Each structure stands twice: as C-alpha cells, then as structure tokens.
Chains A and B, each alone.
Chain A
Amino acid sequence: MTAFELSRLLGAKKASCVEITRSVLDRIDAVEAKINSYITVDPEAALQMAAKADAKLASGLGRRLTGIPIAVKDNMCVRGRRTTCASKILENFIPPYDATVVRLIKDEGMVILGKANMDEFAMGSSTETSFWGTTRNPWNLEMIPGGSSGGSAAAVAAGEAIVALGSDTGGSIRLPACFCGVSGMKPTYGSVSRYGLVAYASSLDQIGPIARDVTDLALLLNLVCGHDPADSTSVPREYPDFTSFLDKPIKGMTLGIPREFFAQLQDRDVNRALAETRKVFEDLGAKFVELSLPHLDYGIAAYYVIAPSEASSNLARYDGVKYGHRATKFDGMIDMYSKTRAEGFGNEVKRRIMLGTYALSSGYYDAYYLKAAKIRTLITQDFKKAFESCDAILCPTAPTPPFKIGEKVDDPIQMYLTDVFTIPVNMAGLPGMAIPGGFSEQGLPIGFQLVGSHFEEGRLIQLSSAFQKITDYHLKRPSL
C-alpha cells in the first residue's frame, strides 16, 4: 500500500501505526537477506516512533504522513543513530544532531525504519561501492538496483519501506528509482535543505523522495521542501501544495524532446518503452516539440571535474583526528592521515578524491575546474532556452535497463556513462523525476524522466500523475 492509502486507514482508525510498522518490519525480516536494502535497521526505535505516532493521532495532532514508515539514506544524519555513508571511515560515527529533513520527518511523526544502503559517499551508480556490500535489485537479484540511493529505491520496491529519502548528485535518486520500478524525484537545487546531508558535491547534492507513486512523492515533497536558514544555499520562497497538481489535466501541455538525448539511445527495450510513453502522453492531449541541448555531450566530462573537485575538499575532514576510523599503527601525523584514509576509503572514493585534487591543483585549475564551470553555465543556458518552448522535457532516465552486478564495477567510464541523461539536470539545478514506464524483455523495469524548469516540480507532478492514472507500470511489484 502507499503512504496515501495507509494514511487513510489510519485516519479511519482501521489500522494503527504500530501494526503498519510491524508489518513492514516483518517484510524486512523476510526479504532483507536477499536484497540488503539497509545498512542499519532499528526495529525497536521504529516501534517506539510508531507508538508515539499512534498517540499523536489519538490526540488529534496527527498530520498527513504521521505513522508512515520511511527509509532514510545513510548519508543523512539522525541524532544518536549510526550514519556511515556506506564507508568504513564512518563505520562507527554517531551524529549528535539531526539533518533538517530528518527533523522534519520526525516532527511529522513518521517512523524511521533504518538507514538505507548506498554507494560509498554516494559515489556510484550501482550501490556496489558500499562498504556494507551491494544492494540487489528486487526484480532480479543478479542485477544492480542503480545508485547511489540503491538501498532507498530497493526498499520501496521490495516493500521494505513505504517511502524513502534519497539524495541525487548526478542521478542518484532517479537512476535507482528507474531500475527498481518506483517513482523518484530530485527537486530543484535549493528547495530541500542540505543541512545534515553528508556532502559529496555540495553544488549538486539534493535530497528528494522515492515512493511507489506520484501521490506519495507529492506528499513527501510537501514535507521536505522549504527554506532552511541553516543552509545558505536554501532558497527562501513559498512552495505550493504539490498535491494540488495531482488531478490537473495535462491537455495542451508541451513536452520537449531533446534530439541529443534520443540520438544516444541504442537500447531497443528503452527505445520501445520511450515510444510507448510518448504515445500515452499523446493520448492525454500533450503536444511535442523537438529541441536541442547542444552542450549535453560535455555534461559527464564537466561533472567528473566539478563533483570530484568538491568531493576532494568535502571529504578532507575524514582524517582520523576527531571521529570515525583512525589507523591503529602509524608513525607521526602525516602517516596517521595517509593510513587512516587509505584504510577508510574504498577505491571509487579514492579515485574521485584524486581526480578532484588534481583538477584543483595550481596550474590545472583553469584548464579543468574553471572550464567545467563554464560548461555548466552553457548547459544551464541550453535548458533555459529549451523551456521557452515547452513545459517539461521528456527523455530517458537511463540508457539501458538494469545491468548485472559486477558488470561495470571495474570499468569506471562505462559506469559513469550510466548517468548521461541525469547528470545535466543536476548541473543546471533543475527538478527531475523518474517514473516507471515499461519493462524490458527480461522483465526488468524501464522508466522515463521528466525535467522541469526551476521550481516547476508541480508541472512534473501534474504530468506524471496523469500518466499514472491511465498506466499500471507503477503498480507492478517484483515477486520475491
């Protein structure tokens, strides 16, 4: 059931939060060994939160999502609970503070089930770089679930959570949502507070919801969007009630079809699914306009300069001095730093730290970081121009259906190319949504992506909700 449906049951007193939580915990017990969605599950804490939520509902203080069980990606700090970022270096880190989004879901009375698995420091597209082992795709356990929020998406797909929070730096919500057959949204940069989100690439990171359908996305988005004075990049503005877009017709809306995105699409299954999606939107009365995003080709290259540059600085604090892992044997300060970091970080994290350190070095800064920043501006301008002729852009989320565990983990370039359609959206700070839109011949989920202009999440919800009203891809569940 969705959060929306459960919320109705709770309102009608046909179920209690404790019952709902217990049933999700039972499901976790049953399937977690196969999926590995979570780094930490805390049943006792969850049941306590559920009991509190029941009390809240009984006293009439309940809100829309009170009592709804949620999985939180392990890069968001929850006070008093281990937050590892899927890294050995934070294996035992217990934050003494809540991330702003965590405070919001606690205030709402939601039930935190546990901390979802992810790629180490959100660096990856498959959840294979997790120190805690990969998460498996609930649709096919040999397949990757996408990443980096693979645990969050797999948990929702496998019924191990009703909804989840993920974070998206280059596609980390949309890609796993797509690969796991669930709905996910990366909101506009600056609309959800990053305070307490362990930073990977600060100018690109954005927290967002993952859910079974668009209604739940809208409900969760209502909760987490908003200005936070603790985050200087948070945008002070009035956010609309996103559920008000759920039932709006889309007749007459224009969808942009970016030539460059489709030119790169070689996978037959994905092509077919996209064509069918387009047909559905046509039936709903949408118009199409072909358009060009000429700098798309440079997106991945620029991303892999900017994101690692920021990461090299953001991850410098993990040095064994204050918290987290510290090497046991070392000879002096510098040796403590090197051994601690050599032991604490995995290969992909080390690779990106080195990339970023190099790109920012004196003599290389102009050629790499500065150039990448300029490309970023060009990509943003491309999108801006595109939105002059359309309400939203329709494009693929991923170039292929989910691939096999181990298939690309040793080939970083191939792995990086997985994010070719999602990265430009982060570069421009735009809202992007991944919606289930079909299955491959092998029965693996395929989806499409909708991209909107800044702060136009409402239009994306309007479009995807209309789509989900007349399709059933989002209702399909994997058999486990």
Chain B
Amino acid sequence: MDYEAVIGLEVHAQLLTDSKAFCSCTTRFGNEPNSNTCPICQGMPGVLPVLNRKALEFTVLMAIACNCAINEISRFARKNYYYPDLPKNYQISQYELPVSEHGWVEIETAEGIRRIGITRIHMEEDAGKLIHDERKPLSYVDLNRTGVPLIEIVSEPEIRSPEEASAYLRVLHAILVYLRICDGNMQEGSFRCDANVSIRPRGADYLGVKTELKNMNSFRNVQRALQYEIDRQTEVLTEKGKMIQETRLFDPATGTTASMRGKEQAHDYRYFPDPDLLPLRVDPALVEELRGKLPELPAEKKARFIKQFEIPAYDAGVLTSSRPVAEFFEEVVGLYPVAKRVSNLLMIDPTEEGISRVTPRQVADLLKSVDDGIISGTVARTIYEEMRNSGSDPDVIIKEKGLIQVSDTAELSRVVRQVLDDNPAEVERFFAGKTKLMGFFVGQVMKATKGKGNPAIVNKIVAEELNKRSG
C-alpha cells in the first residue's frame, strides 16, 4: 500500500520582551538561578497576573504576518497540571478563544509554492527549568524562565513530508526573526517544535492514528524524527499492526523515537477561563497601527530582490533569509549599483556573522577598486575574506599585501611570452583549432602574476602574442 504522511506542527516561540508576560521581572538569559523572579512568577499565595502589553503587540504582529484573523475578544485560560517547574501548577495560556486564528504561510516545495494553513496563534507563559543532581536523587528548580512570554503557532495538518515540515519551520523562523520578536535560538529553546504525525493510504479522506513527537531541537532533527516516524508507522501498518496514539521522544543520537506516554496517561488539563484576567480586547485600531509597522517579510523581499536587482532567485532567497544581511545588501547597492556583483561577493558568506565586521561602504569601495582596475576580481575575493576577518579598509589591505593589479604592458608581455614558451604543446593545439585554450593561457598568466594581472590587458596581450606566433 502507498501511504502519505499527515503532519501538523506546534511551534513555541519565546518573545523578545524585556519583561515577563505577567510580571515585571527581566527575561534576560543566563542570570543566576532564581534571580529573575518575584512573588508573582514564583506563584506565591495571593499574587495576581497583569498582562505585558508588549507581549500582546508581538503576538498580534506575528498573527498579521501569518495572515491570521485577530479576535477582538480573546480569553486567557488556565492549563492545569502538576510539575515543579510550574510554580502555580497551572500555566496561563489560551484555549477556547485565542488571540488569532485562520492564517496561512507559503512554503516552497519541489512542486512549487504551497500554502500551509495556521489554525491559531495564541499567547502563554513559559515554565521554569529543573536541574537534576547527577550524584544524588535531588532536583533543583530554576524559575528564571517561568513566566517568559511565548506564542504557540499551531499549523493545520496540511504538511505532507518531512521536507515540507522543515520548509514550514524555516518560514516561521525567518518571519519571527524578521519581526525581531524572537531570537530564534533553537539550542537555547527560544524556538521549539512538537510534531503530530500520522499516515494514511494516499488520497484517503480520513486521518490515521497520530503520534506526537517531542525533543527535536533543530530543523534537521525535526526532519529526521518525522522521517523515522513515517517509516516506523508504515512498517507497523504494512505488517498489519495497529497504531496506538502516544507521545514519543526523539533521540538525536540514534535518530529514532521511543514511546514516552500512551493515550491513557495523557493529561487532562482541565482548561477553564482564568478568572484573574479579564477577557482580552484587542483594539482594531491597534491592529491597524501594527499592520502599518509591519516590515517587509522574507517572501516579499525575495520577490522584490529578484525583480528590482535582477539577481538569481537562489541568491535572492539566501540573501533575504536574514534581515540584517538583506538590509546590508541593499545598503551596499545604494553605494555601488551593480547589484549582481554585490550579491556575488556577499554570497561568499551570506550570514550575519559574515557581515559583522565589515561596513557597506568598505564593500562598495572594494568593488569600485575592481572597476578602477586597481585589483582583479579574483584578488577582490581574497581581500574580502581578509576584510571579514580584520575589519580593515580594502585599500589598506591592498597596500599592505602589495595586491595592486599589474597593468604594465611590457611586464605582462614578458610573462605572456614566457607562458607560451613553456607550453609549446598547448600552443600547437590552439592553432589546430582548440581555441578554448585561450582561457588556459590567461589562467597561467594570472597564476604567474599571483592574480594581480589586469585580466582585460592580459587577455589582449595573449591574443596579440598568439597572433604574432601564428604567422
């Protein structure tokens, strides 16, 4: 039987607010355990939550970016379960009435653009962390993360392959980082994903029994876990076995999943509206205000780059996957308008790290030096690497390393003659019709001049010298 996978993803993204969702404690990462806490996030008796307005604004921004409808009235609900990292033993979340619903994002697949539906985006608070003593049966609780605002983005079960899942996650990740509402760090858990996956005969209109996958802390692991799980489920069903609904943990070391708890042990969260927080009203005027502030998103930016700068789709995709890189690119183009050459150079290392020590002005100057014949394009790439390491100006590096281009005709003619003398066999084949060897001779000259030969002049002299020898 031919099966198809049905995948839905739940993404939790930590919001980059300065303070927590319901108290004024800082959200800074890495402080002493329990130093970012107060009676409210410690869940002391009698304390009450007050919503952080910034967290709401960030959530609405994401909802707009994901084409969601914003509910004018939404409600916070309590999700009740006992765990020591949850001091109130309930999590403030949203249940029946989330802030936003019914959105979508577009992903690129091998078959073209696909739209993946988003069921809902809602707000909630994060839990703390348990630190286990490895020598004693003892655990410690760190509540620094308790109460940090999160959004949960729930997709429709419309994802059909691990590759699509990964593409969808990358799209969400890029949007969150673009909006500057999440740092997107998967290792530290600022961006986490759980997956629901089932399989069914291709084309069937019902859903199979699903498993929920947890503990996948990279795009790649999400893809691996899903692939493993789809293969496992296919095997179970092919061998006439029966799927059971359960939660499974992914083990990155072995690439496999293992059962964590079955349906019987599933929690009953006893959701009910949180009586400490009034129904939340999102003013349509606020939504419009935020819509106006929405930056150009990755997909739009990519389309514009292709059209406006006439650069290849692949380059545009890479350059726009990071907002700072895309902005850097545009700044360079503002100073040096041959966009294709800017993109060729930046594509050497199109990451935030890659542009961290250079300025747009320096990159523009470097490209101008090529135009002015001071250095060759090849040398420019070497200098660019040096610039990225040291942050020095290109002209300083050119001078220090003696990389100024050789345009002296007499000097270059001497080298060309030497090259032709050294390669009589190639010269003979050239005259026999292998005109492509022209490039070989030019390459040899560039090699001999350590890349400093002015390519235009070298080309001209090679042609002239060959012409002389033809007679």
Contacts and interface: CB of A to CB of B under 8 A. Distances in A.
A316 B48 contact: no
A77 interface: yes
Given A229-B50, A322-B87, A313 B78 contact: yes
B335 interface: no
Contacts of A360: 80, 270-272
A201 B82 CA distance: 19
A313 B44 CA distance: 14
A317 B44 CA distance: 8
B45 A357 contact: no
A95 B80 CA distance: 24
A99 B45 CA distance: 10
Looking at A96, A198, A360, the one whose CB has the most chain B CB atoms below 10 A away is: A360
Interface stretch (A189-197, A276-284, A433-441): A189-197
Interface in A303-335: 309-310, 312-313, 316-319, 321-323, 333
Contact of B45 (A77, A321, A365): A77
Interface in B194-212: none
Nearest to B78: A313
Interface string A175-199: 0000000000000000000111111
A229 to B, nearest CB: 7
A357 to B, nearest CB: 7
Interface residues of A, number: 44
B278 A232 contact: yes
A333 B46 CA distance: 25
Contacts of A229: 50
B272 A365 contact: yes
A357 B276 contact: no
Interface residues of B, number: 28
B277 interface: yes
A321 B82 CA distance: 11
Interface string A67-87: 000000001110000010100
Contact of B89 (A194, A197, A309, A317): A317
A403 interface: no
Contacts of B39: 95-97
A261 interface: no
A414 interface: no
A199 B88 CA distance: 12
Interface string A185-220: 000000000111111011100000000000000000
A323 B51 contact: no
B270 A361 contact: yes
Contacts of B47: 97, 195-196
Nearest to B50: A232
Given A197-B46, A321-B87, A313 B278 contact: no
A321 to B, nearest CB: 5
Interface in A27-64: none
Nearest to B280: A232
Interface string B61-85: 0000000000000000010101010
Contacts of B80: 312-313, 316, 360
Contacts of A99: 46
Given A196-B46, A230-B48, A313-B78, A202 B275 contact: yes
B46 A233 contact: no
B268 A195 contact: no
Interface string B120-144: 0000000000000000000001000
B270 A357 contact: yes
Given A233-B276, A360-B80, A360-B272, A317 B45 contact: yes
B275 A316 contact: no
Given A313-B270, A362-B268, A362-B270, A90 B45 contact: yes
A232 B44 contact: no
A84 to B, nearest CB: 10
Looking at A85, A99, A195, the one whose CB has the most chain B CB atoms below 10 A away is: A195
Given A95-B39, A229-B50, A316-B90, A203 B44 contact: no
A194 B50 CA distance: 13
B42 interface: yes
Interface string B87-117: 1111000000000000000000000000000
Contacts of B84: 319, 321, 333
Nearest to B84: A321
A95 B272 contact: no
Nearest to B43: A317
Contact of B90 (A93, A197, A313, A333): A313
A369 B87 contact: no
B189 interface: no
A297 interface: no
Contacts of A323: 44
A247 interface: no
Contacts of A369: 272
A279 B413 CA distance: 126
B105 to A, nearest CB: 31
A333 B83 CA distance: 9
The list of the 3 closest CB pairs from A to B, nearest first, reads: A316-B89, A203-B275, A360-B270
16 contacts: A83-B45, A83-B46, A95-B44, A97-B47, A196-B46, A199-B45, A199-B46, A202-B276, A313-B78, A317-B43, A321-B84, A323-B44, A361-B270, A362-B270, A365-B271, A369-B272
